Structures are given as C-alpha cells and as structure tokens.
Amino acid sequence: MDITHNLTIKASSETIYKAVSSEKGISGWWSKDCNVGTKEGEKSLLKFDKEGTIIEMGFETKILEPNKKVVWECISMPNPAWIGTRIITEISSSEDGCDIVFSHAGFDDKWKGQEPFEQTKGTWNHFMNSLVSYCENGQGQPW
C-alpha cells in the first residue's frame, strides 16, 4: 500500500529538491530537529517532540537525482508500519513551477485500516501543506 500526493508547487526544481534532501530543507517543513545525510547510503535522523516524548525516525538515503528524485528508506521508527517503507519524491518542471509526486510507499497490507497507517495518512496531509508553504513562501510548519 502507498500514500501518494500529487502536488503543484510554484517553485524551481532546485528549491524543491533542496527542501526534500537537505538538513536546512527538512528542518523547514518536516522536522525541526534533524541530521540529514547528503549522499546515497548515508543515514538521516529526524526527531519530533510529541507531548514531551522525543520520537526518533531513522532513514537511509537510497536515491539522490539532483532536482528530479529523492528516495529515503525507513530503517528505524516507533511506528512499526513504517519499517522498510520508502519516502519517494519525484519532481518534474511544469508551466506553474513543478509537479511533485510524493509517495510513502511499501506499507504491508496488514496495516490497512489500522491506526499506525491511518495516522500516517493524516500527518502527511499536514506535512504536504507544510512542504508547499516552505517551497513557495520560505515558511513551513515543521514539528
């Protein structure tokens, strides 16, 4: 199962690529506290403060195609539905800026209708709005 968002962002492919592949970018729309690997094979760690409890998410960068594609694989996370899933951002230029296909892919079917998957869908809605705002206006709503 996949969670997929199709977006149009009024920004350059370079701006969007940096937003989804760099520490400065990730901290601007997703995680205020992060350490982001900048090469394929490197690890990233994102931290979130959930009501005083720090939640840590670990990823490995699988693909970095400048201004076109970023793929991260989840390697550690308290939500077991995420382990082994991939976060894929595909960027293509369009008349209005760039078309983005953002997918959180590879969830096991056993999670369908379950809270770990349904909660993930809801939080991605927030973060997609945050990503658009960050890329277009320089101000996202990271947690």
- Number of domains the chain contains: 1
Domain of 98, in residue numbers: 2-137
In a domain, 120, yes or no: yes
pLDDT for residue 70: 98
Q: What is the DSSP string of the chain?
A: -EEEEEEEESS-HHHHHHHHHSHHHHHHHT-SEEE---STT-EEEEEEEETTEEEEEEEEEEEEETTTEEEEEEEE-SSGGGTT-EEEEEEEEETTEEEEEEEEE---GGGTTSHHHHHHHHHHHHHHHHHHHHHHHS-----
The domain that contains 37 carries what CATH number? 3.30.530.20
Q: Is residue 143 part of a domain?
A: no
Note whether residue 142 is domain-resident. no
- The pLDDT, as a whole number, for residue 143 is 95
78 domain residue, yes or no: yes
pLDDT mean by block of 10 residues, the chain; 143 residues: 98 98 98 97 96 96 98 96 98 96 98 95 97 98 97
pLDDT at 114: 95
